[in-house]
Amino acid sequence: MKESSEEFALAFISAGSIWVECEFCQRVHFADDPSAGDFEEGELEALRASAEEKPDEFCGHDGSAYWSIWEGKALVLGCPCGADVKLEREVWDARDWITNYLVARATVEADDAAETKRRADAAAKAIREAK
Ligand SMILES: [Zn+2]
Ligand SMILES: [Zn+2]
């Protein structure tokens, strides 16, 4: 898989910006479009000049650059470094144990929530009866 899937983008990508740095490869992605958002005076021109000068380090897009945080770092959708492709592959390859974990953890959380509610109801009843 050379690109991450649409399903991955919908589930994992949470933000869009006029520019963002991929913190997995330090490449800057930017919206090469003045109408894409609120650029500061001269900001888009500077980004375009940088892209002209260092095409490997700056990447212009038709619209916003889409990204999310993974391992505490900005991960940019479609970055040539392939961080999104790698993440999708890792998650998909680990889907069985991730699913097992999610089911087990959700069950524990639901049981804990039920216990908390049972105690809260008992406390509310005791307060009512004490009046
Ligand atoms: Zn990257
Ligand atoms: Zn890009």
Q: What is the pLDDT of residues 76-97, one digit of tens each?
A: 999 999 999 999 999 999 999 9
> Ligand 2: distance of its center to the CA of 7 in Å?
19
pTM: 0.81
What are the residue ranges spanned by the domains of the chain?
A: 1-93, 94-131
Q: What is the pLDDT of residues 43-57, one digit of tens each?
A: 999 999 999 999 999
Q: Which amino acid is at 22?
A: C
> Ligand 1: distance of its center to the CA of 1 in Å?
16
> Ligand 2: distance of its center to the CA of 29 in Å?
4
Please give the full DSSP string across 24-55, using - where no structure is assigned.
TT--EEEE--GGGS-PPTTHHHHHHHHHHH-T
d(CA 57, CA 45): 16
Residue 69's closest CA among 129, 13, 118, 127? 13
Query: Which chain residues have CB less than 5 Å from ligand 1, an ion?
Result: 22, 24-25, 27, 79, 81
Output the pLDDT for position 6: 96
> Ligand 2: distance of its center to the CA of 96 in Å?
32
d(CA 75, CA 81): 10
> Ligand 2: distance of its center to the CA of 93 in Å?
26
